[in-house]
Amino acid sequence: MSKSITARRLTAAALTVGALTAAIAVPATAADHQRQRPSVEISDVQYDSPGRDDRSNRSLNKEWVEITNNTRRAVNLDGWTLKDEDGHTYRFRHYRLDGRATVRIHTGQGRDTRTDLFQDRRHYVWDNRSDTATLRNDHRRFIDSDSWGHHRHGGRH
């Protein structure tokens, strides 16, 4: 009888150790997965251009959103959109974002380069108090967003 009890105790102990190991391993894996950065993300927003908001092209271009590709491969952003809460929409046209690269989308007018794109607007887009920048792919699927302030339905610049 004592061999049977010892065998059962060893089996129970082994099962307990196995269960504890599994319980510890799952949260660590989930935590690692949550820390992984998205493939393409809104990495920074300068919604309040430094200095006075005088609506000059220089001031408009100091208002921008940065999009970063965290993968090694280039991503075709053709047809993707960047939108604010009021519906102002910038559509990417014929643009590939290189792997591990960032592009800055300025509000004002300018000449597009690999690192800087321009919305060619004559008015500010991003509300200084609160707004949300939303990035969607060419199938209108949500990719990322960045919000500041609190949700509002009020004034603009």
For residue range 33-46, what is the model confidence (pLDDT) as tens digits?
455 778 999 999 99
DSSP run (H or E) holding 43: strand 40-46
DSSP run (H or E) holding 9: helix 2-35
Report the distance separating Cα 126 and Cα 157, nearest Å.
8
In tens digits, the chain (157 residues) has pLDDT values of 555 555 556 555 555 555 444 444 445 444 444 557 789 999 999 999 999 899 999 999 999 999 999 999 999 999 999 999 999 999 999 999 999 999 999 999 999 999 999 999 999 999 999 999 999 999 999 999 999 997 544 444 4
